[in-house]
Chains A and B, each alone.
Chain A
Amino acid sequence: MSRRFTARLIEKRWLSSEHFLLRLVPEEKTPEPKPGQFYLLRPSDTYDPLLRRPFSIFRSSKGTIEFFIEKKGKGTTLLSELQKGKRLDCMGPLGRGFPLNILSQDSVVVAGGMGIASVFSLLEHFKDLIFIYGARTKEQLFFLDELSSLKRLITVTEDGSHGKRGNTVDALKEVIEEERVTSVFACGPEGMNQSVSRLLKSHSIEGYISFEERMACGVGACLGCVKETPQGMKRVCTEGPVFSVKEL
């Protein structure tokens, strides 16, 4: 089984003018991804853009892998223009995902914006928990139908257009004060990740947070994707992208 393979695009679905789902079928047997792991996709066969782009595994089921992507620049725009049937050069699953063995009914999952892409498969794996999901506006909250089967879904938006007005960190603070919380799993923008980490440290709650950094090789060879931690530089592509709060 190889972690480098070609896959055929079998479905592209737009969820907004900037957000889309890509469903791929690997043309050979590949290892099962774990929630929080990622793949490197090559957006073009030319040298511009040159490097592969990292994307979290959004969902996987027998023989298909799915990605939820936001259009940002050159690479993601090219991916958004791919036609059904196109073959893509992929590497993955890569990196360290979320530890599923500590998921329990006292777990809380937090996603800010595109962080949903990284935690969604975790929520499919285990539904008996609290999920806090935040975005700028209600238009940027996706998959609310699928998420309605969770034990509890708390939405927050910056403009108050869906759920509470506010941010995910304040919502998490409230839940921690009111309920028994033994573990937290989070993915969001850098600022949110930092605040969640501080909050969990101050409450001594076990936590796992998924981080992003610009990548080249994705396999630990180039040292391009490091994150500064108290124990030195850690490679997001191999020691991460999911880090324990204890490491931060």
Chain B
Amino acid sequence: MNLTVKIGNMTMKNPVMTASGTFGYGAEYSEFVDLNALGAVVVKGISLRPREGNPPPRIVETPCGMLNSIGLQNVGLEAFLKEKLPFLRRYDTPVVVNILGDCVEDYEELCTRLDGKVEAIELNVSCPNVKKGGISFAIDREALKELIGKVRKKVKHSTLIVKLSPVSEDIASISVLCEKEGADAVSLINTIPAMAIDIETRRPALANLIGGLSGPAIKPIGVRMVWQVYQAVKIPIIGMGGIMNASDAIEYMLAGATSVAVGTANFVNPSATVDIIEGIKDYMKRHSISDINEITGGIIWEIKDH
């Protein structure tokens, strides 16, 4: 049975990776999961300098999901390279670093310094572009085009992944733009901006008012977007959003994902990733599938005319 998949030039022993921000820097969960069993570990978003993030409360549960407003708190590039990466290097598992910046130059420097040191770099483009009045790269096509084009020149050895946001208008054409500018893969979806209010106190549930919705509640949106992107591009897709078990993972793969990332599920079940790998094997056995890559885009469909 072949479980191996390729994302750019990164080879994964199975299609299951962690979703950025839900698995710390790997060490936090190493007691609960054998990191060697994972397809890849994706770490919390890293910026050039350390960030404090938003004030608490930062999380609140909503039906079949949760909102978070962590605000991209992270240890910064220096500390990541010195204190976090060496631990992950002890394992035989590719490392993907999710990065974020205030402007194109930040991303360029991060890429220059990370290229070749990690198997893949994932651009989180859901961040405000400070030099353009804080409009997110995910919404501003011109800025996104410039960002990927410039960053591509800096990433010579690692695989370059662009992480798409569900707020982007017409995600399929955004993914085409990513492919044209040289992205090796796209990952989606990031969390969906959302809000909750405590009606007794009339206070917002999060100190930051708005947070990102994740978990089972967003799965059908993620599946739809992966399917739309699959129709539009040839580069591999990393699907995520509400994957809790192997059935969810396979659903994403049938829609077109080559690989999947597990996020919120880690909080509910710290061994979710390895449970999903086992479940995928069972599915393959049950359906006599010898190569996992056969599942990707395997949805059977037609639109009937009336």
Q: Which residues of A contact B31 (CB under 8 A)?
A: 3, 219
- Tell whether A171 is near chain B: CB-to-CB under 8 Å: no
- Tell whether B24 is near chain A: CB-to-CB under 8 Å: yes
* A43-69 interface with B by 8 A CB criterion: 47-52
Contact of B215 among A50, A89, A228 (CB under 8 A): A50
Quick one: CB contact mask for B133-154 with A, threshold 8 Å, 1 for yes?
0000000000000000000000
Interface of A is mostly: loop
Quick one: CB contact mask for B18-47 with A, threshold 8 Å, 1 for yes?
000111100011011000000000001000
- Tell whether A225 is near chain B: CB-to-CB under 8 Å: yes
Q: How far is the CA of A91 from the CA of B269 in the complex (A)?
A: 10
- Is the CB–CB distance between A222 and B216 below 8 Å? no
- Is the CB–CB distance between A214 and B57 below 8 Å? yes
- Is the CB–CB distance between B268 and A51 below 8 Å? yes
Interface hit among B59-67, B81-89, B103-111: B59-67
- Tell whether A127 is near chain B: CB-to-CB under 8 Å: no
- Is the CB–CB distance between B52 and A52 below 8 Å? no
- Is the CB–CB distance between B59 and A219 below 8 Å? no
A237 to chain B: closest residue by CB: B28
- Is the CB–CB distance between B66 and A220 below 8 Å? no
- Tell whether A42 is near chain B: CB-to-CB under 8 Å: yes
Q: Which residues of B contact A232 (CB under 8 A)?
A: 52
- Is the CB–CB distance between A233 and B52 below 8 Å? yes
Q: Which residues of A contact B70 (CB under 8 A)?
A: 222-224
- Is the CB–CB distance between B64 and A216 below 8 Å? no
Shortest CB-to-CB span from B53 to chain A, Å, is: 6
Q: How far is the CA of A127 from the CA of B57 in the complex (A)?
A: 36
- Is the CB–CB distance between A224 and B58 below 8 Å? yes
- Is the CB–CB distance between B215 and A221 below 8 Å? no
With A52-B267, A226-B53, A233-B53 as contacts: A221 and B29 at CB distance below 8 Å: yes
* B207-264 interface with A by 8 A CB criterion: 215-216, 244, 264
- Tell whether A217 is near chain B: CB-to-CB under 8 Å: yes
- Tell whether A227 is near chain B: CB-to-CB under 8 Å: yes
Q: Which residues of B contact A18 (CB under 8 A)?
A: none
Q: Count the B residues whose beta carbon is within 8 Å of the partner chain — how many? A: 35
- Tell whether A213 is near chain B: CB-to-CB under 8 Å: yes
- Is the CB–CB distance between A213 and B32 below 8 Å? no
Shortest CB-to-CB span from B135 to chain A, Å, is: 25
With A47-B64, A219-B28, A233-B53 as contacts: A91 and B270 at CB distance below 8 Å: yes
Chain B CB within 10 Å, residue with most, of A47, A52, A218: A47
Q: Which residues of B contact A91 (CB under 8 A)?
A: 32, 270
- Is the CB–CB distance between B270 and A47 below 8 Å? no
- Is the CB–CB distance between A219 and B270 below 8 Å? yes
Contact of A221 among B24, B57, B68, B271 (CB under 8 A): B24
Q: Which residues of B contact A51 (CB under 8 A)?
A: 61, 66, 267-268
Chain A CB within 10 Å, residue with most, of B61, B66, B73, B264: B61
Shortest CB-to-CB span from B187 to chain A, Å, is: 19
- Is the CB–CB distance between B56 and A228 below 8 Å? yes
Q: How far is the CA of A52 from the CA of B264 in the complex (A)?
A: 12
Question: Residues on A close to B: CB < 8 A?
Answer: 3-4, 42, 47-52, 89, 91, 213-228, 232-233
6 A–B contact pairs at CB < 8 A? A4-B271, A42-B268, A50-B264, A217-B22, A233-B52, A233-B73
Given contacts A50-B66, A216-B66, A224-B70, 6 further A-B contacts (CB under 8 A): A48-B64, A213-B57, A217-B24, A221-B22, A222-B24, A233-B73
10 smallest CB-CB distances across A and B, nearest first, come from A221-B24, A224-B59, A221-B28, A216-B267, A47-B64, A47-B216, A220-B28, A217-B267, A223-B70, A48-B64
